Amino acid sequence: MADKETNAQINLEASADDRKGRYANFFTISTGDRVSMLDCFLIDVVAESDDGQIRNGVLTSRVLMDAASAVQLRDMLSEHIEKNGWAHDNA
């Protein structure tokens, strides 16, 4: 017996500030027993020193997801990157 595709309606809401989005240019991911945590940071160059640039960053968002959602995110990003022809050297 074939699985029947179900139609589901999902209503999503966000505040006006959240709809503006947040810029991030550095990401980390960590995994616990049941949840993965994707942290998104905005890293700025704030000063120069004899040793090079001194950088500060601020957490712009944190996404908590289960393992299946992390895999789904990976697959969506891979598909999007391939569709747009991005390579590491031209992204």
Would strands 52-65 and 26-31 be described as parallel, antiparallel, or unpaired? unpaired
What are the φ/ψ torsions at residue 83 (nearest 5 degrees)?
A: -60, -35
pTM of the prediction?
A: 0.71
Residue 4's pLDDT band (cuts 50, 70, 90): low
Residue 48's pLDDT is 85
Q: How far is CA 64 from CA 1, 13, 16, 59, 68, in A?
A: 35, 18, 22, 14, 12
Q: Per residue in 22-72, pLDDT tens?
A: 999 999 999 998 999 999 999 987 888 888 888 899 999 999 999 999 999
SS3 label, residue 38: strand
Residue 82's pLDDT is 92
